[in-house]
Structures are given as C-alpha cells and as structure tokens.
Amino acid sequence: MQKGYQSIAAGLRGWFEWYYGVTKRADHSRIIITGLIVAVGSILSPWWLPIIFEIAKKYIQIELKIESQPWVGVIVFLIVCVYSFSIFISDKIANNNNKKSELASDALVFRDLLSNSSPANFIDNIRAINARHLYNNDQLILLDKLIDILEDPSKEIINNDLRIEADKLHSLLIDFRDFLGTHFFVFPKSRPKVYTYALYPEWNMDHSGIYDEQKNKLYNTHADNLFVLTKKLLASYDDFFRTGRRVLGAAMPPSG
C-alpha cells in the first residue's frame, strides 16, 4: 500500500513539475482531469495494471514494480472532488465580488453622467453610457431618467428654446410605450414600483409591486432593447440639430 501511494504521489509530482515548467502557470481543469484519471486508474488497477506490466516487460524490457491499491484511488478521487469544489466556490465568490464592484462602478457612472446632463451634453452623455454596454439592472437609473423626460418634456432636456419635433417625439413615445408594455410590467423586488403606470394609467397595470419572475426574466433578456430605443431618441435629436432649432409652441400630441 505504501509503495502504491508513493508511486502515485511521485507520478503526480512529476506531472506537476513538468506542466508548470512548460506553462509557468497552474491550470485547474488539467489538474482535476489528471487527478481523476489517476484516481480511476488506481481503482481499476487490479485488472489492467498486470497487462501493462507484461507489455512493458516484453516490449520495453523494463520490469515495473508498482503496488497500487483501490483505496488509494478512492482517496485521490475524494481529494480531487474537494479540490474541484473549493475551486468552484472560490471562483464563484471572486466573480460575485467582481460583479458587485462593476455594478457599483456602473451605477456611479450612470448617476454622474445623467445628473450632469443638460440640453447641450445629454446626447454625448447617453452615448458614453451606451459605449459601456451596461446591460444589467442599473439600466433602471437610465429608465428613470427617460421616464422623467417623457412625463415632463419641458424639464431639463426640452425647454422653450430647444424642443424635439412633436411628430417624431409622438412616434418615439408610442414605440417606448409598446416596448414597456411588453417587457417592463414589474421590476425586481429591489425596485418594485411600476414606472410605466405613471405614464399610462389607462393600462390599469398591477401596481402592487408583486415580484414576477417570468417578467423579470423578460426584462433581463430584452434590456438591450431599451438602448435601441434610446438610440432612436438620440437619432431624433440628431435630426433636429441638423435641421436647426425650432420652438414648437403646440402641445405634444397624445400618446395614442
């Protein structure tokens, strides 16, 4: 038993030394796979090792003397399982921490860019947000901003000397309403308010804030569509800038 354990340990040590010497780094998956091969080989050794010994003795003219016991393979297998689980847990914790850090950073970017927006730099700020491809729940901050704009077009972005042409805004409002009606009924538990109810009370949406997992999945799946609509809104601004500033005294058409 002792010789069998020592031979397996020596084999693993030799493999580690060779692999590290070649790659200069540790590869968890390769270590795990090799450990499993050694473990299974040790468990099955009573059947196939004698054949290998005979082949080695006959063709390579080397007489192998390795005593391998099944219990050694079981121990190696358990060690590999524990090692694999620990790697999985540590990686998951690291990924979660990184994601939390990224979300916190992204939220600050949203807040800073949007809070500092003005009619002059709003387009550039939104483009900077889009460039970061922030497809996560922090888009709610952007949604808040867009809802504010749609609820009160005279606030911040559109004022007496800078307005979007009413028909284009009307079309964008319809698209935005239809998209929200399809994918944004209820938000996750952390943000249970039904934002769209404030815009379109005739929808009679459930404003109890009950968490709906399926609708939340839809939100996560189609969140990038919000950016598509944002780009449409920006395209309308761009077109307006190209055609020149106009003051539209007429009230915005109903949302249809």
Domain ranges of the chain: 2-96, 116-243
Is residue 198 pLDDT above 50, yes or no?
Answer: no
Mean pLDDT (whole number) for 45-50 = 57
Q: Of 70-79, 148-157, 160-169, 171-180, where does mean pLDDT reach its minimum?
A: 160-169
Take residue 195 and report the two structure tokens written for it. 């934002």
Top pLDDT among 79 and 224 is at: 79
pLDDT at 186 over 60: no
Burial (CB < 10 A; 0-12, 13-18, 19+), residue 66, is: middle
pLDDT of 237 reads 46
State yes or no: pLDDT of 77 exceeds 60. yes
Q: What percent of the chain has pLDDT over 90?
A: 0
**pLDDT of 193:** 36
Model confidence at 101: pLDDT above 50: yes
Whether residue 94 has pLDDT greater than 50: yes
